[in-house]
Amino acid sequence: MENFDEYETVFIGYPIWWGDMPMIVYNFLEQHNFDGKTIIPFNTHEGSGQAGTQNTLENMFANTIVEKGLALRGADAQKMEADTQAKIDEWLEELGFPKTEIESSTFNFETKTVKLNSGYEMPILGLGTYALSDEQAENSTYWALKAGFRLIDTARIYGNESGVGRGIKRAIDEGIVTREEIFVTTKMWTSDYENGESAIQASLDRLGLDYIDLMILHHSQPQNDITAYNSMEKAVKEGKIRSVGLSNYYDEDDFDRVANAVEIKPALLQNETHPYHQSGKMKNHIAKYGTVLESWYPLGGRGHTQTLFNDETIASIASAHGKSSAQIILRWHLQAGQIAIPGSSNEQHIIENYDIFDFELSQEEMNDIAKLERNERFSNY
């Protein structure tokens, strides 16, 4: 292990077999000098507990501090992932190692933006336009920009890019915003992957824009999604697109397949994410590319919002803050480090959705929502 001497504290994780450590752990311990260091074990077991291996470590090293470690039953840890994560976070905090969210650390709640790996600043809260008609999209886009939103999300397959463009033009013409203040996302549909260059220009024409801030491949399609991605990379070099990303890639290997085959790494991954499907594993995985997670269906989506709004935990937190359940969920998204794009054709709902920057959820409340994880999606695409 490189630079081992520089570490003062060493965490050692291993499964406990028949009350003992695996041989590979013994080999590691014997190959390194732990004098003056602190060892902190963490383990899974199926009933034997940690006491035996804790004693073994203490007896092996005379000049080493062995702190009380954490031991979890392996079966329980796998079944209750959110609860396990909360226990680990609490344990680390007690040891003086508070949890650091890599993804959310770049979220700036003053500017309400996050810096993408492309170098551009992206708003962390936006308007989604899925299922809105062209006319509804125009009005909602205008209302959103008037309310303070600066991120607008659309897609070719939504059939409302023209409406979004008109809403943007209306807001600009009235002096509400400038083009430079708006971040526009659209998506390339799968049937266009073989003709990506034409699809990009068609989206630009429908939106009435000179450039698209972020363009995303709408779905994984291994036979030609890399070809489509390459066309977006070309458009970046031509100034037609500023950042590129992916949507609906739920398998880590599938995401890696694209990320490792292209020159410009995805700036963003847009997946279904909400309190019952928190996408934590995928969010952690894509962080190594500098990729940010964005949540579609952040409130559960049409037909499922009331399920989340009426959840006892969420409703209780909403009552404590004098906010709506929707506002609590959206605030949770941002503090968890994922961009949220709630959709609505109701002006008052749009205004309400933006009014989430005057309060903060406590760590306990964040942990309570984390425990709602069910790995339950509300859609199948």
> How far is residue 228's CA from residue 233's CA, in Å, rounded to a whole number?
9
Q: Topology of 104-370 in CATH?
A: TIM Barrel (3.20.20)
pLDDT digits (tens, 9 = 90+) for 343-372: 999 999 999 999 999 999 999 999 999 999
Answer yes or no: is pLDDT of 127 > 50: yes
Q: How confident is the model at residue 2 (pLDDT cuts 50, 70, 90)?
A: low
> How far is residue 141's CA from residue 347's CA, in Å, rounded to a whole number?
10
pLDDT digits (tens, 9 = 90+) for 342-351: 999 999 999 9
Mean of the per-residue pLDDT values of the chain: 93
pLDDT digits (tens, 9 = 90+) for 227-286: 999 999 999 999 999 999 999 999 999 999 999 999 999 999 999 999 999 999 999 999
Strands (E), 46-141: 65-66, 70-73, 107-108, 113-115, 121-123, 126-128
Extents of the domains making up the chain: 4-94, 104-370
Pick the CATH number of 4-94 from 3.40.50.300, 1.10.3720.10, 3.40.50.360, 3.40.50.1980: 3.40.50.360
145 membership: H or E segment, kind and range: helix 134-147
More confident residue, 49 or 37: 37
Answer yes or no: is pLDDT of 323 > 80: yes
Residue pair 136/142 in contact by the 8 Å Cβ criterion: no
Residue pair 152/141 in contact by the 8 Å Cβ criterion: yes
Q: Which long-range contacts (CB under 8 A, 24 or more apart) does 89-97 make?
A: 89/367, 91/42, 95/40, 95/67
Residue 19 tokens, joined: 């009350």
Alpha carbon dihedral 299, 369, 288, 116, in 10-degree steps, equals: 50
DSSP for residue 291:
P
> How far is residue 122's CA from residue 112's CA, in Å, rounded to a whole number?
8
Q: What percent of the chain shows pLDDT beyond 70? A: 95
Which position among 158, 193, 276, 354 bears the catalytic label? Answer: 158
pLDDT digits (tens, 9 = 90+) for 167-202: 999 999 999 999 999 999 999 999 999 999 999 999
158 is catalytic: yes
